[in-house]
């Protein structure tokens, strides 16, 4: 069970790839808004990595992300 909160401000669609990276990391690709670099106008997808404490937490996060894709 999670002991913290994650605020993920993206549209979670079926086209967003999500997967495990190692035992305790979940990766996804998205277009951040606002951009990470304010000087850059391109809306290119970036790889985001969410690190959690345990493998069980990573599996649960991945499940929640996949279950909530529209």
Residue 3: the pLDDT is 62
pTM for the full predicted model: 0.77
Give domain limits for the chain.
18-67
Instruction: Name the percent of the chain lying above pLDDT 70.
Output: 89
pLDDT in tens, the chain (70 residues): 556 676 777 788 898 999 999 999 999 988 777 777 777 766 778 888 999 999 999 999 999 999 988 8
Options 2.60.40.420, 1.10.3720.10, 2.40.50.100, 2.30.29.30; CATH for 18-67 is 2.30.29.30
Integer Cα distance of 8 and 51 in angstroms? 13
Integer Cα distance of 20 and 68 in angstroms? 17
Tokens of 28: 């996804």
Token look-up 């606002």 returns 34
């Amino acid at each position: 069970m999670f002991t913290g909160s994650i605020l993920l401000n993206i549209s979670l669609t079926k086209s967003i790839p999500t997967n495990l990276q190692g035992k305790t990391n979940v990766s996804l690709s998205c277009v951040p808004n606002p951009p990470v670099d304010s000087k850059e106008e391109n809306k290119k997808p970036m790889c985001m990595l969410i690190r959690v404490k345990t493998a069980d937490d990573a599996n649960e996060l991945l499940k929640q992300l996949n279950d909530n894709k529209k």
